[in-house]
């Protein structure tokens, strides 16, 4: 028999975005640890930051191409090289704009990423409409995201904790609590 877990995903006022039922390993060292590792270092914001240089490059690409292709004093070879270089710069700028990092555009985006992270195969993880499923779970986690982007986790009827404190509650080691670049620095 599995250790059932239930995750309630809420905004700062307790309004529920979704409920997740986890049939196996719902204890803090299992599901709790997975939640902790996922949430650690996440930035939740309203709108995404865009690299200003990258955004400028994307906006100016068409201007560059139009200028080069319309100016009759520029040789076809030079046109090709400029358009090719502008295209390469545009591609690099788009990569910077859409970098993969731990960012979410509001709580709904964070929670959609969390569901995708947890759901690895058929079964085990389910979205639930009925919060009565929480009554059958051995562990109930409530994750709240405030307007300022802070994330808190409450386990069962305990007090809300920030993500770092939640990691300690789940028994995370110091290496798991440090961001990846700090782990490498700590080992030197």
Among residues 93, 87, 88, the alpha carbon closest in space to that of 50 is found at 93
* pLDDT computed for residue 96 by the predictor: 60
Mark whether 127 and 178 lie in a shared domain: yes
Mark whether 37 and 56 lie in a shared domain: no
Mark whether 140 and 83 lie in a shared domain: no
pLDDT in tens, 113-126: 999 999 988 888 99
CA distance 172 to 38: 12
Mark whether 126 and 171 lie in a shared domain: yes
* pLDDT computed for residue 154 by the predictor: 93
* pLDDT computed for residue 183 by the predictor: 41
pLDDT in tens, 61-85: 777 777 777 777 888 888 788 777 7
CA distance 75 to 100: 39
Mark whether 164 and 113 lie in a shared domain: yes
Residue 143 belongs to domain spanning: 5-46+106-187
Mark whether 134 and 151 lie in a shared domain: yes
Mark whether 116 and 172 lie in a shared domain: yes
* pLDDT computed for residue 182 by the predictor: 43
H-type alpha helices, the chain: 33-39, 52-70, 76-97, 107-118, 163-169, 174-177, 180-187
Burial of 180 (0-12, 13-18, 19+ CB in 10 A): exposed
Mark whether 33 and 112 lie in a shared domain: yes
Contact call for residues 15 and 107 (beta carbons, < 8 A):
no
Mark whether 62 and 121 lie in a shared domain: no
Mark whether 80 and 115 lie in a shared domain: no
For every one of its 188 residues, what pLDDT tens digit does the chain have, with 9 covering 90 and above? 688 999 999 998 889 999 999 998 999 999 999 999 999 988 888 876 665 556 666 667 777 777 777 777 888 888 788 777 777 777 776 666 555 578 888 899 999 999 999 998 888 899 988 777 677 889 999 999 988 889 999 998 888 899 989 988 887 655 555 555 544 444 44
Domains contained in the chain, number = 2
* pLDDT computed for residue 187 by the predictor: 44
* pLDDT computed for residue 179 by the predictor: 54
Mark whether 42 and 66 lie in a shared domain: no
* pLDDT computed for residue 113 by the predictor: 92
Does the model's pTM come out above 0.85?
Answer: no
Mark whether 37 and 59 lie in a shared domain: no
């Amino acid at each position: 028999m599995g250790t059932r877990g239930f995750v309630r995903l809420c905004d700062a006022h307790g309004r529920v975005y979704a409920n997740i039922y986890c049939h196996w390993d719902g204890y803090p060292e299992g599901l709790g640890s997975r939640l902790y590792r996922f949430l650690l270092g996440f930035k939740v914001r309203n709108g995404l930051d865009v690299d200003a240089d990258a955004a400028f490059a994307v906006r100016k690409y068409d201007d560059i191409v139009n200028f080069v292709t319309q100016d009759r004093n520029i040789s076809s070879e030079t046109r090709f090289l400029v358009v090719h270089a502008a295209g390469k710069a545009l591609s690099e700028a788009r990569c910077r704009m859409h970098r993969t990092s731990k960012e979410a555009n509001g709580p709904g985006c964070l929670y959609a990423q969390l569901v995708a992270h947890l759901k690895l195969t058929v079964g085990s993880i389910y979205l639930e409409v009925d919060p009565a499923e929480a009554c059958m779970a051995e562990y109930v986690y409530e994750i709240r995201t405030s307007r300022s982007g802070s994330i808190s986790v409450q386990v069962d009827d305990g007090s809300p904790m920030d993500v770092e404190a939640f990691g300690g509650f789940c028994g995370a080691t110091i290496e798991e609590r440090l961001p990846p670049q700090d782990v490498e620095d700590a080992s030197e």
